[in-house]
Structure 1
């Protein structure tokens, strides 16, 4: 399949003669900057043609996805434009496009499908390899290394920190790596002498959560996996992977026992506890697009659990009760360590005064308080629903006797629902985060001392975080996705995951809004507005700093953290593991074939305009 405005020889000739960037260069450019069209080290049309032939025609030259809505663009299609506009906010569109990502700012807003906006391909990769085998990945890595081309890796484009796209680059699209093998009676990693007991899944790094859960459910199994249908294994596992099941079973990366990957030298290797141990450790938590490109993962599966689910809502519509809201939020979240230990996990949202909330459309002045969608694993079918209700009874009893809630207060417990499998729960409650916007995420991890040591300080923190020009910008997500399973997992020292995950309970994230199950992560800002972008960056840094005061040494979840490289970002994302990760990076990738930001070992390069150059 070729997405093209012409084919390779004609396109490359145009890039060489028409590029507005550079038309000549000295021989030192190869050492100082990555090649771009117009520099002597940029591949010739014949080189691109040979690469395409070696890939059996899988080299794509995709147009910018919004071009169908722009008259004058070769792919303009007035009939197709309305369909694209309808699909632009949907996750499914972007993960099936070779270059599009879920959030516009990571392609620099260079071709949005809206009238009046500019459209060019300058924010997107120039060429894409639609890889379906490790061999395709290998050929792409070797070509990029040989010709000094900036290399990026895209899976679904579900990347909050912008590693899936870059200008003047060759992209390896691993979305179609979907191999599948179920091991029902143990698994023996290559070159290991022992067969691991239990059940395991070997799946391609492009495999997505909905497909994995659906196929494993037929065997009464599941994995520790992500909350979105389109999340794929590659980026999820390299970041560590938190889940509603993590407090019980551990982080997703804890369950990986073997990886097939393509190294920066273009070698296909197997990494596990018996060979290539350093790169195995580094990939699991060290971040994607950094050490190698994983093509296959083998990970442990679990019998699919029964789940009890409950929505709990404690809110007030009265603006003058704001003095109650923040102490109330502090008390509830102070109970999370004990609730997690007792088996609860879930996604909570701290709602400041005057927050719009669609569950109560008759409330016009907004509300404040607490909302949580939570689950517990049922010990048996007969344990429902007492298992989840009994966990909340003492918390609600304390609230009712401690906080002077008025008659207009709403304290709502939905009727608990039982789900016979994780797939059944996931089908009803999977993430429906919209795409097609500009966002900047932020957040940090909170451990038990941060949540229980000083409730006054915790309340003041929530109050400080609530201040902002828009009510929606002050909502805080408090994800209870860590606990005993993460803290004590036997493989906890076999991953490079940020060590403070092993003591934390909450992943606290800044979000831009909530509408039932639709959550807008991060601070949003309009496209092509540098002032608004700078203000969003300042808000994220400010709120990160406020949260940091509660737990200065914990850090942040790298897949959903602020991508702003302020001082100390290395320790914020990897803690004491960073030095070892950097040594491994320098060993396996001495010339930086892989580069991204904020990523391990990226200190030797920076993006200058549309070009990646040495510092």
Structure 2
């Protein structure tokens, strides 16, 4: 294991003295409380050599770094732009800014390790996780959890930390019915279920389910991992049919901050079972496996659709508002959608070579009933477009293309995403209810006009509705934001900037929070936002992300983690700490 002195030099830890003027801080290299080399070596021994001390993944591209290698650099630069590459790396995440841009694989940028964990537990079983959690708690070391790094809020990485990497927690078990542990011998949940280790990613889970003629409520991107996705609630193309992903959870195995390996379900540890399903990841413990409900596969129908008009057309925003106002009616038909509102838009996929003001996306309809066909879906989408453009003859061009797949996997395998990575950026979002979508179309049009950056636009996902409203999670309820139970649309906005361009970053973040997202907050002031895709510094984040559930979640956090072993922002119970000079300290 590397010596502490060399770690300090490499990590650039020259500002610890300011942080350590605080009396209650997590240990960091160079502090009096950081474990010795011998203690780290002992941890490595108990882990059978699975304690890693990885260099920053971009270091191979920097001639000043000992890992510099031209051939390795080319591979890293190629992989850096894909989420799958970051998922396979023990410390990397899909967005550069969460690592503080400290070692991008371009030699023109600086490279240090100060944006990354110092050590990583490469966990292969729940006991590996326990050993890492116990070590962090007993030594006051900051602890983070990384599954795939597919995290838009930066919760899965931190400097001066020990990381639990769950990527190699593998295994799937399929059940015709499921009996939760601790329930009466006669208690059994009917219907198919799947137990997945927390290192499982959506592409594998969907594929293995498909092989058994099953479908799951899963994430849109194949590299999303089950842990962070389910603990955040988890929306899906099938949420409008079956509910949130968290609504499908039947049982969890979790390592608590106290080092206990627990099985939680509706019969035992019921408070923890409630909290983990929607209360956010890296908070109440480290999820090691989860059992979820599955559904028989059905035909899956889609329509790819586009509306286009000349840039600056006055009627454009009225048409957008009209389309969105019809989303609750589409939901009544069982239809969900991922759609995009973009001005000054060009697309190779649609052969659009000159800028247009456009609205495009994919509408989806599971074939649960004989009348649910690609023909019926296309007719419904065409009717929405016709109604929206009826007052503006000749000003809009529409396009639809219907496809039927034998099951959800047939659609998902070629279309899962986004799978891109390696950028700097932030998201903002808002959940929109029927009132926001239908009560005042003028206000709706103005809100999306304000919330749509030129050339980037806004996303309007029809992933709420009846399925989420009528879901019946085990135990009667879970911690999913109550705003989801009224929402039809999850709307997302993104901004980006070049690495280390602090001026542009500040400008874009100010626009994201004060202009784009604020327009949607004003449109739906009584709603909230989805924790896994949101602005990291959302005002009143406690209630924006968890509504009336927050106070109960905070009590459960204090019960299971009175030491604050797990900390992330914005996460339940994070108010008592702040990061000072890359060190986590009590406020």
Which of 321, 329, 334 is matched with 2:320 structurally? 329
The C-alpha deviation readout for 1:266-285, integer Å capped at 9, x for no partner, is 11011111111111111111
Q: Deviations over 1:559-590 (max 9, x none)?
A: 00100143x11111111111111111111111
2:175 maps to which residue? 183
Tell me, yes or no, if structure 1 residue 505 matches structure 2 residue 488: yes
Report deviation, 1:30. Answer: 9.3
Alignment of 1:428-507 (within 5 A): 428-466=414-452, 468=453, 471-473=454-456, 475-491=457-473, 493-507=476-490
Q: Does 1:229 find its partner at 2:201?
A: no
- Kindly provide the CA deviation profile for residues 303-357 of structure 1, in whole angstroms up to 9, marking residues without a partner as x: 11211110111111x2342x111000000000001101111111011122x2233
Out of 157, 162, 176, the position equivalent to 2:149 is 157
Judging changes above 3 Å, is the alpha-carbon distance between structure 1 residues 146 and 23 closer, same or farther for their aligned structure 2 residues? farther
Q: 1:299 to 1:126 in 2, by over 3 A?
A: same
Contact 1:144–1:593 (CA under 8 A) maintained in structure 2: yes
CA apart distance, 1:86 = 1.5
Q: 290, 305, 308: which is aligned to 2:301?
A: 308
What residue is the counterpart of 1:515 in the other structure? none
Check conservation: 1:554, 1:572, Cα contact below 8 A.
yes
2:250 is the alignment partner of 1:272? no
Shift of 1:428: 2.1
Aligned to 1:102: 94
Conserved 8 A contact 1:103-1:437: yes
Give how far 1:363 is off. 3.8
Q: Which residue of 2 aligns with 1:548?
A: 521
> Is the Cα contact below 8 Å between 2:12 and 2:112 reproduced in 1?
no
Q: 1:212 to 1:612 in 2, by over 3 A?
A: same
- Cα displacement (A) at 1:298: 0.7
Residues 306 and 381, structure 1, Cα contact 8 Å, conserved in 2: no
Equivalent residue for 1:123?
115
Question: How far does residue 58 in structure 1 lie from its aligned partner after superposition?
Answer: 0.2
C-alpha distance in 2, partners of 1:314/1:17?
Answer: 56
Task: Give 1:531-546 correspondences, 5 Å limit.
Answer: 531-541=503-513, 542-546=515-519
Alignment of 1:399-418 (within 5 A): 399-406=388-395, 409-414=396-401, 416-418=402-404
CA distance in 2 between partners of 1:102 and 1:421 (Å): 30
Deviations 1:348-399 (A, max 9, x none): 11122x22333455542x1113112011012467853332123234323323
| Number of equivalences | 583
| 2:139 counterpart (132, 136, 147) | 147
Deviation string 1:408-460 (CA, Å, 9 cap, x unpaired) is x421112x111001111101211134100001011100000100001111111
Give 2:378's aligned residue. Answer: 389
Determine helix, strand or coil for the equivalent of 1:80: helix
- CA drift at 1:494: 2.1
Structure 2 contact 223–419 (Cα < 8 Å) conserved? no
CA distance in 2, matches of 1:24, 1:313: 54
- The one-character-per-residue Cα deviations of 1:470-494 (angstroms, maximum 9, x if unpaired) are x223x11000111111101122852
Residues 557, 546 of structure 1: alpha-carbon distance in 2 compared, 3 angstrom cutoff: same
In 1, Cα distance between the equivalents of 2:365 and 2:51? 47
Q: For the aligned residues, what is the CA RMSD?
A: 2.0
- Residues of 2 paired with 1:202 and 1:220: CA distance? 16
Question: 3-state DSSP class of the match of 1:151?
Answer: strand
Alignment of 1:291 with 2:284, yes or no, is: yes
Q: What is the DSSP-based 3-state SS (H/G/I as helix, E as strand, rest coil) of the residue aligned with 1:485?
A: helix
SS of equivalent to 1:558:
coil
Task: Work out the CA distance in 2 between the residues paired with 1:490 and 1:314.
Answer: 37
2:164: which partner in 1?
172
Distance 1:200 1:30 in 2: 49
Q: Is the 8 A contact 1:22 1:37 kept in 2?
A: no
Q: Give distance in 1, aligned partners of 2:199 and 2:347.
A: 36
How far does residue 532 in structure 1 lie from its aligned partner after superposition?
A: 1.1
With 152-161 and 578-587 compared, the bigger mean Cα shift is at 578-587
Measured in 2, the distance between the counterparts of 1:571 and 1:547 equals: 16
